[in-house]
Amino acid sequence: MRIYLDHNATTPVHPEVASAMQEMLRENWGNPSSTTAEGAQARRAVDRAREQVAALVGADADEIVFTGSATEANNTALHSVARASDRTRFLSSTIEHPSVDEPLAFLGEQGSQVIQIGVDETGRLDLTSLRLQVDDRTALVAVILANNEIGVVQDIPTLAEIVHRIGAHLHVDATQALGKIPVDVATLGADTLVGSAHKFNGPKGAGFLWARKGVLLTPWIRGGPQEKRRRGGTENTSGIVGLGQAAELARVDLPVRATDSARLRDRLWEGILEGVPGVRRNGSEEHVLPNTLNVEFEGAAGELLLQVLDGEGIAVSAGAACASGSIEPSHVLSAIGRNPEQARGSLRFSTGLRNDEAQIDRVLGLLPGLVARAREVAA
Amino acid sequence: MSAGRIVVGMSGGVDSSVAAALLVEAGHEVIGVTMHLAGSDSRCCSLDDAEDARRVADRLGIRFYVANYKDRFREEVILPFADAYLAGRTPIPCVVCNRRFKFHHLMERAHALGADAVATGHYARIGTDPEHNAPRLLRGVDPAKDQSYFLFDLAPEQLRRIRFPLGGLRKQEVREKARKMGLGTAEKPESQEICFVPQGDYARVVEELRPAGLPGEGEIVDTHGAVLGRHGGIHHFTVGQRKGLGLSTSEPLYVQALDPGRNRVVVARAEELGSGGAHLSGASWTRGEPPPAGQPALVKIRYRHEAAPAKLVPGAGGFVDVHFEEPVRALAPGQAGVFYLGEEVLGGGWIDGPLS
Instruction: Give contacts of A 227-286 with B, CB under 8 A.
Output: none
How many domains does chain A contain in total? 2
B340: which strand partners? B298, B345
Three-state secondary structure along B177-221? HHHHCCCCCCCCCCCCCCCCCHHHCHHHHHHHHCHHHCCCCEEEE
d(CA A262, CA A351): 8
> Do A177 and A198 fall into the same domain?
yes
Nearest-Cα residue of chain A relative to residue B106? A377
**CB-CB: which of A307, A326, A374 is closest to B45?**
A326
Nearest-Cα residue of chain B relative to residue A370? B112
Three-state secondary structure along chain A? CCEECECCCCCCCCHHHHHHHHHHHHHCCCCCCCCCHHHHHHHHHHHHHHHHHHHHHCCCHHHEEEECCHHHHHHHHHHHHHHHCCCCEEEEECCCCHHHHHHHHHHHHCCCEEEEECECCCCCECHHHHHHHCCCCEEEEEEECECCCCCEECCHHHHHHHHHHCCCEEEEECCCCCCCCCCCHHHHCCCEEEEEHHHHCCCCCCEEEEECCCCCCCCCCCCCCHHHHCCCCCCCHHHHHHHHHHHHHHHHHHHHHHHHHHHHHHHHHHHHHHHCCCEEECCCCCCECCCEEEEEECCCCHHHHHHHHHHCCEECECCEECCCCCEECCHHHHHCCCCHHHHHCEEEEECCCCCCHHHHHHHHHHHHHHHHHHHHHHC
Q: Does A324 touch chain B (CB under 8 A)?
A: yes
How many angstroms separate the CA of residue A48 from the nearest CA in chain B?
A: 40
B97 is known as an active-site residue: yes
Which domain CATH number covers A266? 3.90.1150.10
The DSSP element (H or E) to which B174 belongs, if any, is helix B171-180
> Do A179 and A294 fall into the same domain?
no
> Are A377 and B108 an interchain contact pair (Cβ–Cβ within 8 Å)?
yes
pLDDT at B104 over 60: yes
The region of weakest confidence among A187-201, A242-256, B108-122 is: B108-122
**CB-CB: which of B44, B65, B71 is closest to A322?**
B44
pLDDT of residue B42: 36
Cα–Cα distances in angstroms (integers) from residue B113 to residues A374, B35, B57, B82, B356, in the given order:
9, 15, 17, 34, 50
> Are A324 and B34 an interchain contact pair (Cβ–Cβ within 8 Å)?
yes
> Do A100 and A184 fall into the same domain?
yes
**For residues A304-313, average pLDDT:** 93
Q: Does A307 touch chain B (CB under 8 A)?
A: yes
Q: Which residues of A touch B36 (CB under 8 A)?
A: 324, 326
Of residues A321 and B279, which shows the higher confidence score? B279
Instruction: Give which of B167, B60, B184 is closest to B175, Cα–Cα.
Output: B184
Q: Which residues of B touch A311 (CB under 8 A)?
A: 31, 63, 113-114
pLDDT of residue B94: 85
Judge contact between A65 and A226, C-beta under 8 A: no
The DSSP element (H or E) to which B343 belongs, if any, is none
B275: which strand partners? B328
> Do A227 and A311 fall into the same domain?
no
Identity of residue A56: L
Listed residues A250, A284, A301: the one ending a domain:
A250
| Mean pLDDT, rounded, of chain A | 95
| Mean pLDDT, rounded, of chain B | 90
pLDDT band at B46 (very low <50, low <70, confident <90, very high): low
> Do A265 and A217 fall into the same domain?
no
> Do A238 and A301 fall into the same domain?
no
Distance of CA A263 to the CA centre of its chain: 21
d(CA B66, CA B36): 6
**For residues B6-30, average pLDDT:** 96
Angle of helix B202-209 relative to helix B79-86, nearest 10 degrees?
100
pLDDT band at A323 (very low <50, low <70, confident <90, very high): low
> Are B36 and A324 an interchain contact pair (Cβ–Cβ within 8 Å)?
yes
Q: Does B68 touch chain A (CB under 8 A)?
A: yes
d(CA B169, CA B21): 14
**CB-CB: which of B44, B65, B113 is closest to A328?**
B44
Nearest-Cα residue of chain B relative to residue A311? B113
> Are B50 and A377 an interchain contact pair (Cβ–Cβ within 8 Å)?
no
> Are A324 and B114 an interchain contact pair (Cβ–Cβ within 8 Å)?
no
Q: Does B67 touch chain A (CB under 8 A)?
A: yes
pLDDT band at B273 (very low <50, low <70, confident <90, very high): confident
Q: Which CATH superfamily is domain B274-354 in?
A: Translation factors (2.40.30.10)
How many angstroms separate the CA of residue A372 from the nearest CA in chain B?
A: 9
**For residues A87-96, average pLDDT:** 97
> Do A236 and A263 fall into the same domain?
no
How many angstroms separate the CA of residue B339 from the nearest CA in chain A?
A: 32
Three-state secondary structure along A84-100? HCCCCEEEEECCCCHHH
> Are B67 and A326 an interchain contact pair (Cβ–Cβ within 8 Å)?
yes
Of residues B330 and A112, which shows the higher confidence score? A112
> Are B111 and A376 an interchain contact pair (Cβ–Cβ within 8 Å)?
yes
Determine the residue among A297, A309, A314, A326 to mutate to test chain B binding: the one whose Cβ has the most chain B Cβ atoms within 10 Å. Answer: A326
Which domain CATH number covers A112? 3.40.640.10
Q: Does B50 touch chain A (CB under 8 A)?
A: yes
- Write down the domain spans for chain B: 5-198, 216-272, 274-354
Determine the residue among A324, A327, A367 to mutate to test chain B binding: the one whose Cβ has the most chain B Cβ atoms within 10 Å. Answer: A324
d(CA A331, CA A337): 10
> Are A324 and B70 an interchain contact pair (Cβ–Cβ within 8 Å)?
no
Q: Does A128 touch chain B (CB under 8 A)?
A: no
Residue range B125-162, pLDDT digits in tens: 999 998 888 999 999 999 999 999 999 999 999 999 99
Q: Does A322 touch chain B (CB under 8 A)?
A: yes
Listed residues A183, A218, A250: the one ending a domain:
A250
Distance of CA B204 to the CA centre of its chain: 20
Three-state DSSP state, B84: helix
**For residues A281-289, average pLDDT:** 96
Of residues B168 and B71, which shows the higher confidence score? B168
d(CA A284, CA A155): 13
Highest mean pLDDT among A20-24, A219-223, B204-208: A20-24
Q: Does A327 touch chain B (CB under 8 A)?
A: yes
pLDDT band at B39 (very low <50, low <70, confident <90, very high): low
Q: Which residues of A touch B71 (CB under 8 A)?
A: 340
Q: Does B109 touch chain A (CB under 8 A)?
A: yes
d(CA B64, CA B354): 46
- Predicted ipTM beyond 0.85: no
Q: Does A339 touch chain B (CB under 8 A)?
A: no
pLDDT band at B36 (very low <50, low <70, confident <90, very high): confident
**For residues A236-259, average pLDDT:** 97
How many angstroms separate the CA of residue A316 from the nearest CA in chain B?
A: 14
CATH code: domain B5-198 is 3.40.50.620
pLDDT of residue B181: 92
**CB-CB: which of B47, B50, B112 is closest to A308?**
B112
pLDDT at A324 over 80: no
pLDDT band at B98 (very low <50, low <70, confident <90, very high): confident
Of residues B251 and A32, which shows the higher confidence score? A32
**CB-CB: which of A307, A323, A374 is closest to B47?**
A323
> Do A228 and A268 fall into the same domain?
no
> Are B51 and A377 an interchain contact pair (Cβ–Cβ within 8 Å)?
no
> Do A28 and A100 fall into the same domain?
yes
What residues make up the domain containing A86?
Answer: 15-250
| Residue B271 DSSP symbol | G
CATH topology of domain B216-272: SH3 type barrels. (2.30.30)
pLDDT at B230 over 70: yes
**CB-CB: which of A322, A324, A328 is closest to B51?**
A324
**For residues B267-287, average pLDDT:** 93
pLDDT at B43 over 70: no
Q: Which residues of B touch A303 (CB under 8 A)?
A: 67-68
pLDDT at A370 over 80: yes
pLDDT at A379 over 60: no
Q: Does A303 touch chain B (CB under 8 A)?
A: yes
pLDDT of residue B72: 86
pLDDT at A293 over 50: yes
How many angstroms separate the CA of residue B89 from the nearest CA in chain A?
A: 31
The count of other CB atoms within 10 Å of the CB of residue A228 is 10
Determine the residue among B65, B107, B118 to mutate to test chain A binding: the one whose Cβ has the most chain A Cβ atoms within 10 Å. Answer: B65
Identity of residue B253: L
> Do A316 and A291 fall into the same domain?
yes
How many angstroms separate the CA of residue B203 from the nearest CA in chain A?
A: 28
The region of weakest confidence among A246-260, B167-181, B244-258 is: B244-258
> Are A310 and B63 an interchain contact pair (Cβ–Cβ within 8 Å)?
yes
pLDDT of residue A52: 98
pLDDT at A305 over 80: yes
Of residues B242 and A158, which shows the higher confidence score? A158
Strands A279-281 and A292-297: antiparallel
The region of weakest confidence among A25-39, A102-116, B31-45 is: B31-45
Residues 6+ apart with CB under 8 A from B2: B27
d(CA B243, CA A281): 60
